[in-house]
Structure 1
Amino acid sequence: MPTERDPRSQRALRLASGTALCLAASYGLSLPIPFLAPLLALFMLASMNRPLSLKAGLGLALMVMLTTGSGLLLIPLLQYVPLSGVLLVGLCLFYCFRYGLHGGNPLVATFLVIGLTLISATGTSAFSLALLVIEGLGKAVLLAVLTVALSHWLFPEPANAPAGPRQPALAPAEASWIALRAALVVLPAFLLALIDPASYMPVIMKAVSLGQQVCSTKARDAGRELLGSTLLGGLLAILFWGALSILPHLWLFFMWMLLFCLLLARKLYALSPTRQSPGFWLNSMVTLIILLGQSVQDSVAGKDVYSAFAVRMGLFIAVTLYACGAVYLIDTRRHRRQRRVST
């Protein structure tokens, strides 16, 4: 049982309140891609137990500019030499994931993957759409940073709390194999987005989350971790939508998100211990936010929310099943190669 000085309760409250506040502010301000800001805030709160310093904030802004610039540079290549462009994107994804696995900042790696895939994919359809994504990404990062700072002020980390365990840097060969399977998970979603960027943008965000999750998932656990978290996120999105439909209002949107995130954050920080890994609960929250946010956008646009949700959930399950297969095949090939070398 957690003690009074156990920082996990503060971290759970901080993550839930920060994500819910960012969601309410993003939809209240009508940001271009409203579900992006709470996703970024969730990633930041889950990966950092300390607020960003001024230097770190400036570094994050510089990194976002670098990310958007790299995505824009790839647009002409994807338009005129598509095969070479796709191969280059795949290579960049590999190095982004390898950077995070080889001792780099996983948050920076996540931002790089998001910017690289979203901007280059939308730019092939229309340059104005790429500029809209850049605007949405910039505003989302700014709002997420402000929300994270406010959350740390509301629920500060105890002074004597130990720093969160840092993921050890993997050996170069192992990091390369894991980065390869993560890149292969994200690449098919990127190819789908090249067909219709506006429709498949949520699929890219789901694939990025899966790519991060497979970096710490073993082949024997892939089905339970990846598919189980996706199905749980979809079920929670259905329950959330049903509750929100009773009385649609921004403040109730905030309150319901706070409640759902609190329930999942307790599992994430083992305040309510389970057999699932933290990545399972984090991916469930990511799936919930993406599905719910896109359903709200469909409702505003006058689309059939339920049919759109069914199609999107089907795509999420298909991408997840592909991710499970990629993890299994890459790990099997790696183990065979290791046995061949050892003999």
Structure 2
Amino acid sequence: MSTERSPRAQRALRLATGTALSLAASFGLGLPIPFFAPVLAVLLLATLVRPLPFKAGVVLALAALLTTAIGLLLIPILRYYPVSGVLLVGVCLFLAFRYGLRGGNNLIMTFLVIGLTMISSAGVADFELGALVIGALVKGLVLAVGVLALSHWLFPEPANAPSPPAPPVMPADEVGRVALRTTLIVLPTFLLALIDPASYMPIILKAVSLGQQSSTATARNAGRELVGSTLFGGLLAILLWCALSLFVHLWMFFLWMLLFGLVLARKLYALSPTRFSPGFWLNSLITMIILLGQSVQDSAAGKDVYTAFAVRMGLFIVVTLYACLMVNLLSQRRGGLIAG
């Protein structure tokens, strides 16, 4: 029994259960932008091996509120001085990614990027829409923190479990280049969102995920890591949608998500070893949640789900190919400078 409940097994169970719970609760409660909660739950469960204390949860929610509200301050600049506004957003994105790559809190960095891109683009179209996105993010985060605590109560970390190794520190001379590369990956999706925020906001979230994943990708494995995880996440979303259509119910949504989450969590924590990195499986799970959440919302709104999915998946692939191009171009540029 002790072998079955090793630390990695407990973490896999927590990740799958927490993701499924947050997804079902988010849709069951009718939260705006319901895929926020499960995506944030995945990020919390994948990075934290202890539940957040109450004070830390409150501080995190306030930090999310304050950092994302920065996007509201950019609305007048983007409306009346669009070129200067876009350049300012680009510089701020670079600084936010550099902060994260230097060892800063990845969640705070993610909230900063969401504020700079999703909130500002939504606010340019409609200030109330920007405020709605902030409210949806904070509500999703509160739900994710609660699910994190519940998941740790259901599957506690063994007392003698070793702490996971700290992520490797990026060399100082690499930070600026990688931060620039990540900024160039996210910025075009921000420009698309300025045109139509309602349609392209999920693409921004995907680009942010790709940007973070690309920080560890190399020119050699970029295609496999970035494109492969996007395609696999899309395939999983299709399979889960087909399974859910057999019997449409919130509990079935929870159970199917739990099953798919368990399969991916076993890969992520190397309980079923593969040649793919943990980032591949994490990005596949996030991609599946975003695509599936949007499809469920499209269905509830009476839209053509299959056409909308095809368009969204096509955009995801384009953004991913562009991310691979940035990885290869900047890697070649660096190699040329070193050779010179």
TM-score, structure 2 length as denominator?
Answer: 0.97
SS in 1 for 2:123: helix
Q: Equivalences for 1:178-189 in 2 at 5 Å?
A: 178-189=178-189
**Contact map agreement 1:68 1:119 (CA 8 A) in 2:** yes
Distance of 2:5 and 2:246 partners within structure 1 = 39
Q: Which runs of 4+ in 1 moved over 6 A?
A: none
Q: 2:33 maps to what in 1?
A: 33
Deviations along 1:123-160, one digit per CA (max 9) or x if unpaired, are 01000111111111111111111111111111111111
Give ranges in structure 1 of 5+ residues lacking alignment. none
Cα deviation digits, residues 201-234 of structure 1 (max 9, x gap): 1111111110110011111100000000000011
Taking the aligned partners of 2:304 and 2:199, their CA distance within structure 1 comes to 14
TM-score, normalization by structure 1: 0.96
AA matched with 2:263: L
Shift of residue 5 of structure 1? 5.9
Match of 2:232 in 1: 232
Q: Aligned AA for 2:117? A: T
Kept after mapping to 2: 8 A contact 1:21/1:254: yes
- Shift in Å, 1:56: 2.2
1:298 and 1:271 mapped to 2: Cα distance? 35
In structure 1, what is the equivalent of residue 169 of structure 2?
Answer: 169
Paired residues for 1:59-138 under 5 Å:
59-138=59-138
The CA distance in 2 between the partners of 1:189 and 1:321, in whole Å, is 13
Q: Where does residue 335 of structure 1 map in the other structure?
A: 335
**Residue 217 of structure 2 aligns with which residue?**
217
Aligned to 2:191: 191
Distance 1:156 1:326, change over 3 A: same
Specify the alignment match of 1:148 in structure 2. Answer: 148
Identify if the C-alpha distance between structure 1 residues 338 and 54 changes in structure 2 by more than 3 Å, giving closer, same or farther.
farther
Answering whether residue 272 of structure 2 is matched by residue 272 of structure 1, we say yes
Letter in structure 2 aligned against 1:103 = G
Report SS of the residue matched to 2:212.
Answer: helix
Match of 1:219, SS state, is coil
Preserved CA contact (<8 Å) 1:110 1:212:
no
Match of 2:311 in 1: 311
Query: 1:250-302 CA deviation, whole Å, 9 max, x = no partner?
Result: 00000000000100000000000000000000000011001100000000010
Matched residue type, 1:139: K
In 1, the alpha carbon distance for the partners of 2:316 and 2:4 equals 40
Shift of 1:107: 2.3
Q: CA deviation at 1:172?
A: 2.3
Alpha-carbon shift at residue 165 of structure 1 (Å): 1.4
The alpha-carbon deviation at position 115 of structure 1 amounts to: 2.6
Q: Once the two structures are superposed, what CA deviation does each residue of 1:72-102 show, in whole Å capped at 9, x if it has no partner?
A: 1111111111111111111111111111111
CA-CA distance at 1:4 after TM superposition: 4.6
Aligned partner of 2:73: which letter? L
Distance 2:116 2:254 in 1: 30
